[in-house]
Amino acid sequence: MTLDKVLINETVYIKKVGGESDIKRRFLDLGFIPGETTKCLLISPFKGIKAYLINNNIIAIRDIDSKNIEVSYERN
**Residue 50 belongs to domain with CATH number:** 2.30.30.90
- 14: burial class by Cβ within 10 Å (0-12, 13-18, 19+)? buried
CA distance 58 to 55: 8
pLDDT of residue 19: 86
Q: Give the count of domains, the chain.
A: 1
Number of neighbours of residue 74 by Cβ within 10 angstroms: 7
Exposed, middle or buried by CB within 10 Å (0-12, 13-18, 19+), for 70?
A: middle
Domain range enclosing 40: 3-72
Tens-digit pLDDT profile for residues 37-76: 999 999 999 888 999 999 999 999 999 999 999 999 988 6
Please tell me the pTM assigned to this model: 0.89
